Chain A
Amino acid sequence: EAQVTQNPRYLITVTGKKLTVTCSQNMNHEYMSWYRQDPGLGLRQIYYSMNVEVTDKGDVPEGYKVSRKEKRNFPLILESPSPNQTSLYFCASSLIRTSGSNEQFFGPGTRLTVL
């Protein structure tokens, strides 16, 4: 089954304790992206990657890191989490097309609480 998986689905942590949220897709997609969802703000892009070893900042990258060592995986790293990073996080992936839409497939979301 074609899918994007995220782990963990739920995480409660404390300020300053490094954490990683994993994202994996099995569709051989080049493009992967992280979004965060906050009440009243919709979803905003954190980082994205066009291919292995190619990453770039989205709209709200502060406090986050990513890596893309393999095509299927795109982990989101919070080196020193703070309470303002409490949010619902979505990973997404898509093909990169020369024409036509790049429909993005979303993971199930990770609900992070930073105390």
Chain B
Amino acid sequence: AQKVTQAQTEISVVEKEDVTLDCVYETRDTTYYLFWYKQPPSGELVFLIRRNSFDEQNEISGRYSWNFQKSTSSFNFTITASQVVDSAVYFCALSGGTGTASKLTFGTGTRLQVTL
């Protein structure tokens, strides 16, 4: 069975601080995909990134960066110089296999509060 663990329930930071959201996953699939979604207070799910299990390169997009480490089954998300607009719930998710569409297994989410 697949499992995603986001151990941090809530994080509070002051604007301009860097913050890392942790994600640890479990899967028996050799091919799988990892995702991060943002859920702002308005409630919709905003896709941030997809990473496949064969690509362990870290990725940077503006103030966002992702660190994928297969050896520790982790896919952590860092926001540099956080802003109030980053306040949201962030979900890490896992999708397994190729050849079929498969469900997303979500973590329980990390609520990030960025204050002035």
Contacts and interface: CB of A to CB of B under 8 A. Distances in A.
B90 to A, nearest CB: 11
B98 A88 contact: no
Nearest to A108: B44
A95 B98 CA distance: 12
B17 to A, nearest CB: 25
A3 B54 CA distance: 29
Q: Which one of A41, A100, A102, A103 has the greatest number of beta carbons of chain B within 10 Å?
A: A102
A80 interface: no
A98 interface: yes
Contact of A95 (B43, B101, B109): B101
B109 A42 contact: yes
Contact of A43 (B9, B47, B104): B104
Interface in A39-65: 40-45, 48, 50, 58
Interface in A60-115: 88, 90, 92, 94-104, 106, 108-109, 111
Name B's interface SS: loop
Name the residue among A88, A100, A104 with the largest chain B CB count within 10 angstroms. Answer: A104
A96 B44 CA distance: 23
A102 B106 contact: no
Contact of A31 (B47, B52, B98, B101): B101
Interface of A: 30-31, 33, 35, 40-45, 48, 50, 58, 88, 90, 92, 94-104, 106, 108-109, 111
What are the 4 closest A-B residue pairs judged by CB atoms, nearest first? A31-B101, A42-B106, A43-B106, A101-B33
Interface of B: 4, 6, 9, 33, 35, 43-45, 47, 50, 52, 91, 93, 95, 98-104, 106-109
Given A40-B108, A42-B91, A101-B95, 14 more contacts: A42-B109, A43-B104, A45-B104, A50-B101, A97-B101, A101-B33, A102-B33, A102-B95, A102-B101, A102-B102, A104-B104, A106-B44, A108-B43, A108-B44
